[in-house]
Amino acid sequence: MTTDDQYTGASNGPAAAPNTGWGTDPGTGPATPGAASLSYPCQACGATVEFAPGSGAMRCPYCGQEQAVTSVPRQVREHSWDELAALPAKPRGSVPAGVRAYVCPGCGAHTETDDLSARCQFCATALVAEPDATERVTPEAVVPFGLDRNNAREALRKWTSSRWFAPSSLKKVSEAETFKGSYLPHWTYDAETVSDYWGQRGEYYYVTETYTAEENGQTVTKTREVRHTRWYPAAGTVSRDFDDVLVAGTNHVATKQLDKLTPWPLEEARPFQPEYLAGFQTVRYDVEPEDGLVTAKERMAEVITGDCRSDIGGDEQRVHSVDTRYSGLTFKLMLLPVWFLTYLYAGKSWQVMVNARTAEVIGERPYSKGKIAAAVVAALVVIAVIVLLVVRK
């Protein structure tokens, strides 16, 4: 994730009705455009509370008072593609980089942000902005933070200690840095598919062949079994239902990196409520749902091709063409929790990410040239000893 999009936002005000994730609140009609931004005061001391990872509640960082996240009488639901088609399209190119303006109630700073939640960059007040009801798609669900900073640091400690050839000082450097928690947007897609395929089934058969070889200075004739493949045409139809095919909704973190944080416990998702964002940054999506669907279909296609191969059977399979029909296509926008750590080592910036539910760690790290050289020397010594022993025999 680039730091360019990590602006901070500030705002305050009374709690508003929970967002439904679709710009309307069932039973109340359309949500009000420009909904007030929110922060949450401690009921005991008045300080700003933050969501406490793993507790399911918000906690005051000063007096420790906890207050429960308000429950909402609704379930996480999928949205049909027809619903999306009915929403007005907003090309990203026409949206300015900072799309929300806030006034910090603590210091009065005016800030624009492309995030859903952030801290005031001047007084560090933890703030939450309710998703703007005029946005095309707002979050439907969130997987709350389950690991706090100490848990993330412990996961990092195990990760760094298991890195071969990492500089010895890396552990101290990385532990000296500060973790930042962020919710990253992801799309999930459901679909029912029926696919017609055409290909070939390969079946092995063996032929006894003769050949000549030299043995003890003599030419001898031998036989061997040689495997061949006989191909037959194959065609058929396979069906597959997909549930929650996950696609990253941001381009600020490489997809290959985010994929390494999987699997995510999506069954632990909660209906979106802004309280879960308190104290964390939230990155807005810049991958449109239509573009995410293209990626989702590519991932579905890999599974469908495997189904075709299984249906063809035989010893080998060739799949020449697949024609897939999609029905019951639904999607939703979900926020997933990640701890980010960016540290400076040897004049270069390195980034590590921790899955804030499973403690999976992925990231970049430097290599110790000294350790690599020592390992090479040790390997050469071992090889030399083995060669010497063989020669002496």
For residue 354, the tally of other CB atoms under 10 A from its CB is: 28
8 Cβ partners below 8 Å, 6+ apart? 111, 113, 115, 118, 119, 120, 121, 281
* Residue 222 within any structural domain of the chain: no
> How does strand 180-215 pair with strand 281-282?
parallel
Q: Are 168 and 160 in contact (CB under 8 A)?
A: no
Q: What was the pLDDT predicted at 215?
A: 86
* Residue 264 within any structural domain of the chain: yes
Q: What was the pLDDT predicted at 122?
A: 42
What Cα–Cα distance (Å) separates residue 260 from each residue in 29, 213, 253, 296? Answer: 41, 51, 12, 17
Q: What was the pLDDT predicted at 8?
A: 31
* Residue 99 within any structural domain of the chain: yes
β-sheet bridge partners, residue 119: 126
Best CA proximity match to 58, nearest among 184, 131, 178, 145: 145
Tens digit of pLDDT at every position of the chain (393 positions): 333 333 233 333 333 333 433 433 333 332 322 333 457 888 888 888 889 998 889 899 889 898 888 777 788 899 998 888 887 655 444 433 334 545 555 655 444 454 555 555 445 566 555 455 445 788 999 999 999 988 988 888 887 776 554 555 555 555 545 788 888 999 999 999 999 999 999 999 999 999 988 888 888 898 999 999 999 999 999 999 999 999 999 888 888 888 889 999 999 999 998 889 888 888 888 899 999 999 999 999 999 999 999 999 999 999 999 999 999 999 999 999 999 887 776 677 777 889 999 999 987 654 445 555 555 666 666 776 677 777 776
Range of the structural domain that residue 249 is part of = 3-193+239-297+329-370
Q: What was the pLDDT predicted at 36?
A: 36
Q: Are 99 and 4 in contact (CB under 8 A)?
A: no
Q: What was the pLDDT predicted at 3?
A: 35
Hey, CA dihedral for 265, 270, 276, 280, is it positive or negative?
positive
Start-end of H helices in the chain: 81-86, 149-161, 170-176, 255-259, 289-312, 369-392
* Residue 146 within any structural domain of the chain: yes
* Residue 37 within any structural domain of the chain: yes
* Residue 39 within any structural domain of the chain: yes
pTM above 0.85, yes or no: no
* Residue 383 within any structural domain of the chain: no
* Residue 112 within any structural domain of the chain: yes
d(CA 248, CA 289): 10
Domain total in the chain? 1
